Structure 1
């Protein structure tokens, strides 16, 4: 794990956004407020900015498989990958907060076989992922986070 990153002081989403409010509520309550949102579960992902080198925190819907955490880089079907995904492709070290638990991990893009298996898992958490995929020409990646022991 990179020691020169100040994981405890990440940049949050821009002021006035629902995401910033979600992050602040999640952190202040140790996940009691915000882990469950709009009928699904969320975590806080902290990546290292690929340009700035500073930690950046984002709330995301997640799934789980055999101790791994799964994220969908949908960007609501936009033509470009979300910034958090571009960050972790440059710096795969991440930190996540799931409820009150915080842990470090290594993130990677799911293989084609994993993506095929995990897509239905993630649709159970957020059915709109199919709509997002239909809106874009890019294949929406699924990210697998392996927690570090």
Structure 2
């Protein structure tokens, strides 16, 4: 399986032919580009997503670490992001899902990546779901 920068490069070079399908559970990957809140540089991350009403859902799990992933902090500082799904590249606006949205979407995310439930046992924080909406 591909990870990190290697995953991003393979995905971008192939318009998602390599890296879109990930893992054994049928997880689908998008590339999220945020602007670093400290560096001002573009940061790209391959993330599992599900299409949901009004956009695309991603999970700020950070593997169950005590803090949110850097990309989550970046999009809180600047919610204007770029997204690539296969060959489709578009501007989007990111927002944290409401409690009601999260309750509805969480089981859908666990369906494609059961480890999300495991990650909740590793941290005291509530793991947010982020909604990406086309700009």
Normalised to the residue count of structure 1, the TM-score between the two structures is: 0.86
Instruction: Look up the SS of the partner of 2:81 in the other structure.
Output: strand
- Residue number in structure 2 paired with 1:113: 100
| In the alignment, structure 1 residue 131 sits paired with structure 2 residue 118 | yes
RMSD: 1.1
| 1:105-146 superposed Cα distances (whole Å, 9 cap, x missing partner) | 100001111111110111111011000011100000000011
Instruction: Look up the SS of the partner of 1:81 in the other structure.
Output: coil
User: What is the rounded CA distance, in whole Å, between the counterparts of 2:102 and 2:3 in structure 1?
Assistant: 29
1:34-49 correspondence to structure 2 within 5 Å: 34-38=19-23, 39-49=26-36
| In the alignment, structure 1 residue 23 sits paired with structure 2 residue 8 | yes
User: What is the rounded CA distance, in whole Å, between the counterparts of 2:123 and 2:13 in structure 1?
Assistant: 36
Aligned length: 132
Kindly indicate which of the two structures has a greater share of residues assigned to strand: 2
Normalised to the residue count of structure 2, the TM-score between the two structures is: 0.94
- Residue number in structure 2 paired with 1:80: 67
Instruction: Look up the SS of the partner of 2:16 in the other structure.
Output: coil
| 1:24-58 superposed Cα distances (whole Å, 9 cap, x missing partner) | 11011011110111131000000011111121100
Instruction: Look up the SS of the partner of 1:85 in the other structure.
Output: helix
| 1:63-110 superposed Cα distances (whole Å, 9 cap, x missing partner) | 111240100000000001000000000000000000010011100001
- Residue number in structure 1 paired with 2:55: 68
Question: Structure 1 stretches of 5 or more lacking a match?
Answer: 1-16
Which aligned segments of 4 or more residues in structure 1 are displaced greater than 6 angstroms?
Answer: none
